[in-house]
Protein backbone atom coordinates (compact mmCIF):
# COMPACT_ATOMS: atom_id res chain seq x y z
CA UNK A 1 0.00 0.00 0.00
CA UNK A 2 1.39 3.40 -0.99
CA UNK A 3 1.32 6.40 1.28
CA UNK A 4 -0.04 9.58 -0.27
CA UNK A 5 0.85 13.00 0.96
CA UNK A 6 -1.95 15.56 0.82
CA UNK A 7 -1.41 18.67 -1.29
CA UNK A 8 -2.49 21.81 0.50
CA UNK A 9 -3.72 24.72 -1.60
CA UNK A 10 -2.40 27.21 0.93
CA UNK A 11 1.18 26.22 0.14
CA UNK A 12 0.66 26.65 -3.63
CA UNK A 13 -1.21 29.95 -3.55
CA UNK A 14 0.65 33.13 -4.49
CA UNK A 15 0.92 35.84 -1.85
CA UNK A 16 -1.18 38.87 -2.74
CA UNK A 17 -1.78 42.25 -1.12
CA UNK A 18 -5.29 43.68 -1.31
CA UNK A 19 -6.20 41.14 -3.98
CA UNK A 20 -3.39 42.06 -6.38
CA UNK A 21 0.15 40.87 -6.96
CA UNK A 22 2.29 42.10 -4.09
CA UNK A 23 5.02 43.47 -6.36
CA UNK A 24 2.60 45.55 -8.45
CA UNK A 25 0.66 46.86 -5.46
CA UNK A 26 3.74 47.59 -3.34
CA UNK A 27 5.84 49.30 -5.99
CA UNK A 28 2.93 51.34 -7.33
CA UNK A 29 1.98 52.41 -3.81
CA UNK A 30 5.54 53.45 -3.03
CA UNK A 31 5.98 55.36 -6.31
CA UNK A 32 2.65 57.14 -5.99
CA UNK A 33 3.38 58.03 -2.36
CA UNK A 34 6.62 59.65 -3.53
CA UNK A 35 4.71 61.50 -6.26
CA UNK A 36 2.15 62.69 -3.69
CA UNK A 37 4.96 63.85 -1.40
CA UNK A 38 6.64 65.89 -4.13
CA UNK A 39 3.29 67.28 -5.30
CA UNK A 40 2.55 68.39 -1.76
CA UNK A 41 5.78 70.37 -1.61
CA UNK A 42 5.23 71.76 -5.11
CA UNK A 43 1.54 72.70 -4.88
CA UNK A 44 0.93 72.75 -1.17
CA UNK A 45 -2.56 71.65 -0.22
CA UNK A 46 -4.00 73.20 -3.40
CA UNK A 47 -7.54 71.78 -3.59
CA UNK A 48 -6.30 68.42 -2.35
CA UNK A 49 -4.53 67.59 -5.63
CA UNK A 50 -1.57 65.87 -3.92
CA UNK A 51 -4.05 63.45 -2.34
CA UNK A 52 -6.71 62.99 -5.03
CA UNK A 53 -4.57 62.41 -8.13
CA UNK A 54 -2.11 59.82 -6.72
CA UNK A 55 -4.93 58.04 -4.86
CA UNK A 56 -7.02 57.81 -8.06
CA UNK A 57 -4.01 56.47 -10.01
CA UNK A 58 -3.27 53.95 -7.26
CA UNK A 59 -6.87 52.73 -7.24
CA UNK A 60 -6.72 52.26 -11.02
CA UNK A 61 -3.46 50.29 -10.74
CA UNK A 62 -4.93 48.25 -7.88
CA UNK A 63 -7.97 47.43 -10.04
CA UNK A 64 -5.69 46.22 -12.85
CA UNK A 65 -3.55 44.21 -10.41
CA UNK A 66 -6.65 42.53 -8.98
CA UNK A 67 -7.91 41.65 -12.46
CA UNK A 68 -4.52 40.17 -13.37
CA UNK A 69 -4.35 38.18 -10.15
CA UNK A 70 -7.91 36.92 -10.56
CA UNK A 71 -7.35 35.69 -14.11
CA UNK A 72 -3.94 34.08 -13.49
CA UNK A 73 -1.87 34.52 -10.31
CA UNK A 74 1.35 33.70 -12.20
CA UNK A 75 0.77 36.20 -15.03
CA UNK A 76 3.24 38.75 -13.66
CA UNK A 77 5.95 36.08 -13.51
CA UNK A 78 5.21 35.11 -17.11
CA UNK A 79 5.38 38.73 -18.27
CA UNK A 80 8.69 39.31 -16.46
CA UNK A 81 10.15 36.15 -17.96
CA UNK A 82 8.97 37.24 -21.42
CA UNK A 83 10.89 40.51 -21.00
CA UNK A 84 13.93 38.54 -19.85
CA UNK A 85 14.00 36.27 -22.92
CA UNK A 86 12.87 38.86 -25.48
CA UNK A 87 16.18 38.82 -27.41
CA UNK A 88 16.32 35.05 -27.55
CA UNK A 89 12.93 34.46 -29.16
CA UNK A 90 12.99 36.52 -32.32
CA UNK A 91 9.53 37.61 -33.53
CA UNK A 92 10.08 36.42 -37.13
CA UNK A 93 12.22 33.37 -36.62
CA UNK A 94 12.23 30.66 -39.27
CA UNK A 95 13.47 27.09 -39.46
CA UNK A 96 16.72 27.94 -41.24
CA UNK A 97 17.59 31.08 -39.27
CA UNK A 98 20.34 30.97 -36.67
CA UNK A 99 19.46 31.88 -33.11
CA UNK A 100 20.78 35.25 -31.97
CA UNK A 101 23.77 35.24 -29.66
CA UNK A 102 22.58 36.19 -26.17
CA UNK A 103 24.20 35.95 -22.78
CA UNK A 104 23.26 33.16 -20.41
CA UNK A 105 20.29 33.95 -18.14
CA UNK A 106 21.43 31.95 -15.13
Q: How far apart are CA 98 and CA 23, in angstroms?
A: 36
DSSP 21: E
pLDDT score at 90: 61
pTM for the model stands at 0.69
What digits encode the pLDDT tens for the residues 71-91?
Answer: 999 999 998 888 888 777 666
Angle between helices 22-43 and 49-71 (to 10 degrees): 170
Q: Cβ–Cβ contacts within 10 Å for residue 24, how many?
A: 19
- Of 57, 81, 5, 53, the closest CA to residue 65 belongs to 57
H runs (alpha helix) in 1-106? 9-12, 22-43, 49-71, 75-84
Amino acid sequence: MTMRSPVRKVLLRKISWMGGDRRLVGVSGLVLFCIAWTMFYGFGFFYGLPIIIPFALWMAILWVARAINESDPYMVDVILRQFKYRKYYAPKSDVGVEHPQVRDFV
